[in-house]
Amino acid sequence: MYQGSCLCGAIQVEISGGINSIIHCHCSLCRKNSGTAFATNGFVATKGFKVLKGVEDFGHYQTSPGKVRHFCKVCASPIHSSNQADPSRLRIRLGMLDSAIVERPISHNFVSSKANWEDLDADLIRNDAYEDSRS
């Protein structure tokens, strides 16, 4: 069982069952929607996705016929997307999870359209807080 929420807490969800096919998506749509180099997404069973709080706070945007992105209308946090062609599952944004998960990403997808400044094999310093240059 996993718990998740948006940035402002208006939406709270619970997920029962596993998270499948977790990927880091570098497509231009995911980059624009997340405002980051990539979005980490995974599939969950629709029947295992329960909104505990904030049903009325969900907004949506149809990116193409039958494909909808769902987000918080208050803080704009992306929550999940749905596809009319496959109503049995939802693609969640793992960043909205509050629980630690046991599953792990399996791939980087759409790397040919990744941000030109993203280096998948970067040997960057890893910090537990802000970078050393920030005062």
The tokens describing 117, both together, are 């400044």
Q: Average pLDDT of 53-66?
A: 96
Confidence of residue 121 (pLDDT cuts 50, 70, 90): confident
Domains and CATH numbers, the chain: 2-113 (2.170.150.70)
Is 80 exceeded by the pLDDT of residue 107?
A: yes
Q: What is the pLDDT of residues 16-46, one digit of tens each?
A: 999 999 999 999 989 999 999 999 999 999 9
Reported pTM: 0.89
**DSSP structure string for 35-102:** TSS-EEEEEEEGGGEEEEE-GGGEEEEEEETTEEEEEETTT--EEEEEETT-TTEEEEEGGGB-S--S
